[in-house]
């Protein structure tokens, strides 16, 4: 296995483990303010995807959404495995790990457990979890990889 593939696999495992561990810890904690005026611990079940888009209220919709997400996870995982750039491999790996964690939630509980509420004072922005944070970090790495100059 090449070093880049090892990095992609390690990033996926890190993303998955951070997500699962974060969820298990959050389940045992009461709702609370973490950073006053900015970030709270607030439990919510999301039956959709990011920002509660594509909300599913029945099993057939949930299964269809899960199938589409599984195809996307396999696609991004393949990109991670085939990547030759370390930053891209890490980014794809984190996206894959976070997506697998959310997919596991969806298949086990019928929804994704979100627990971090970001807001600006009284204005709510969104509720997310560690898996979403891993996905976002992965996307930031992928964008950075495209913007950084390549060695000649």
What does the pLDDT read at residue 126? 86
Q: Which of 130, 125, 118, 107 is nearest to 47 (CA)?
A: 107
71 within a domain of the structure (yes/no): yes
113 within a domain of the structure (yes/no): yes
152 within a domain of the structure (yes/no): no
141 within a domain of the structure (yes/no): yes
27 within a domain of the structure (yes/no): yes
The H-assigned helical ranges of 28-129 are 59-82, 86-109
56 within a domain of the structure (yes/no): yes
For the chain, how far is it from start to end, CA to CA, in angstroms? 25
What does the pLDDT read at residue 48? 67
What does the pLDDT read at residue 144? 94
State the residue for tokens 């389940």.
Answer: 27
Share of the chain above pLDDT 90, in %: 20
The answer to whether the beta carbons of residues 134 and 93 sit under 8 Å apart is no
**Above 80 in pLDDT, residue 56?**
no
102 within a domain of the structure (yes/no): yes
What does the pLDDT read at residue 57? 64
Share of the chain above pLDDT 70, in %: 92
Which SS3 state, helix, strand or coil, does residue 58 take? coil
43 within a domain of the structure (yes/no): yes
- 103-152 pLDDT, tens per residue? 888 888 888 888 889 999 999 988 888 888 889 999 999 999 999 887 77
Q: Residue 17 — φ and ψ, nearest 5°?
A: -65, -40
Please, which pLDDT band fits residue 58 given cuts at 50, 70 and 90? Answer: low
The sheet carrying 123-128 orders its strands as 32-35, 39-46, 112-120, 123-128
Domain count within the chain: 1
Q: Using a cut of 0.85, tell me whether the model's pTM lies above it.
A: no
State the residue range of the domain holding 139: 3-147
- Active site members: 114, 132
Residues 6 or more apart whose CB falls under 8 angstroms from that of 45 comprise 109, 111, 112, 113, 114
Strand runs labelled E in 16-61 = 32-35, 39-46
């Amino acid at each position: 296995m090449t070093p880049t593939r090892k990095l992609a696999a390690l990033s996926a495992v890190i993303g998955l483990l951070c997500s699962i561990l974060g969820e298990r810890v959050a389940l045992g904690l009461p709702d609370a303010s973490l950073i006053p005026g900015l970030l709270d611990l607030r439990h919510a079940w999301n039956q959709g995807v990011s920002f509660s888009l594509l909300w599913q209220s029945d099993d057939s919709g949930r299964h269809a959404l899960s199938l589409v997400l599984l195809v996307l996870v396999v696609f991004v995982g393949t990109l991670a495995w085939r990547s030759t750039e370390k930053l891209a491999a890490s980014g794809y790996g984190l996206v894959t790990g976070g997506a697998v964690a959310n997919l596991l939630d969806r298949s086990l509980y019928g929804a994704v457990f979100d627990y971090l509420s970001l807001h600006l004072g009284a204005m709510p922005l969104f509720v997310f979890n560690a898996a979403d944070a891993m996905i976002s970090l992965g996307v930031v790495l992928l964008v950075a990889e495209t913007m950084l100059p390549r060695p000649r």
